[in-house]
Amino acid sequence: MTQHLFLTDEHEMLRDQIRRFVAERVHPVADQWEKDGFVPREILREMGELGLFGIRYPEEYGGSAMDTRATAVLAEELGRSTYSGFAITALVHTDMASVHLFNAGTDAQRAAFMPDIIAGRKIVAVAVTEPDAGSDVKGIRTNARRDGDDFVLNGSKMFITNGVHADLYCVAVKTDTQGPASQSVTIFLVEKGTPGFTVSRTLDKTGWRSSDTAELSLQDCRIPAANILGEEGRGFYAIMKNFQNERVVIAAMAMGEAQAALDLTLEYVKTRQAFGAPLWSKQAIRQRLAMLSARVAAARQFVYATAARDANGEDVVKEVSMLKALCGELVNEVMYDCVQFHGGTGYTRESTIERMARDARVQSIGGGATEVMLEEVAKRI
């Protein structure tokens, strides 16, 4: 039975299922994924077959029609895996890319793609960020000009998670270079192999090593107008709308990472001998870990409270901006001290905490930098 204020027994059953999957199918082999630079497709298909890619989607497409709280459980447990490259591979697919197709797609578009997406047979990426436009979505320069029943796309995208191995891309471009920026962005469905659409290069990152990340190029890439997601010129609003869900997911993932780091470090300091006694006997270490544990527990409750409000249809833009800023900074603070308390071991590549610290660094950058999030909060307080 659940003891959590915001979760049901169904949510806890989902947590147990994810935790078993991670223990059995991720932990034994994920070090190889870090070396290879991507998560094998068979693992993603297994996740689809288990229903982990359809948590929020209707049963008619193969989903289980749960709510934002279930998404937070998924994100927290994947973050807790200690392999955040694997975690973000799955979460971009479930909660940052495919949602654009589901939310704005026509019945025909959904029918054509959603069953394969939920089953893990097709993996999705979202291509918004560019070399000169990250958190500033209005600043994108990739453009599309109308040519009969088609649009011709030109430009580039940067830092695209799943960018190398995805089958389907939700690509944001400007279809009106003269009009207001907020009314000029359109999202297109672009399938892998479309002429003019290529992976320019795979990016070599500090962390998230098992997540394939790419720079994409569009050169006279011809896309049918029927591949527009939603209305032409309304893509900016679609992107802004999903930020609310996306930032809950990232915050939950960060708290999973932070708790896993604390668990590892508590185990280490209770067994590591120094000056004739375990490190745990040192008051400064005990109290620091106690305070970090309290702050992570508080932030985790904030995550689930916000997820519950989002599930009720409330406007939680201020709260998700707070969460993204708070959890992105907190997880990095936790990792810094956990590496410190591991001593020299924490600075070696054979150490789990070293990998986790590298992975966590991007949590205050990706999905909305801390500074941008704090400005969003400031507008609403």
Residues that are catalytic? 246
**Of 244, 295, 240, 210, nearest in space to 71 by CA:** 244
Q: In whole angstroms, what is the distance from residue 38 CA to residue 164 CA?
A: 9
Residue 208: which of 90, 93, 85, 33 has the closest Cα?
85
In angstroms, what CA-CA distances link 79 with 24, 209, 251, 311?
16, 14, 10, 21
Residue 145 dihedral angles phi and psi, to the nearest 5°: -110, 145
In sequence order, the 6+-apart residues with CB closer than 8 A to the CB of 48 are: 54, 118, 119, 120, 121
6, 76 in Cβ contact below 8 A? no
Nearest to 91 by CA among 296, 239, 254: 254
What's the angle, vertex CA 321, arms to CA 320 and CA 323, rounded to 5?
60
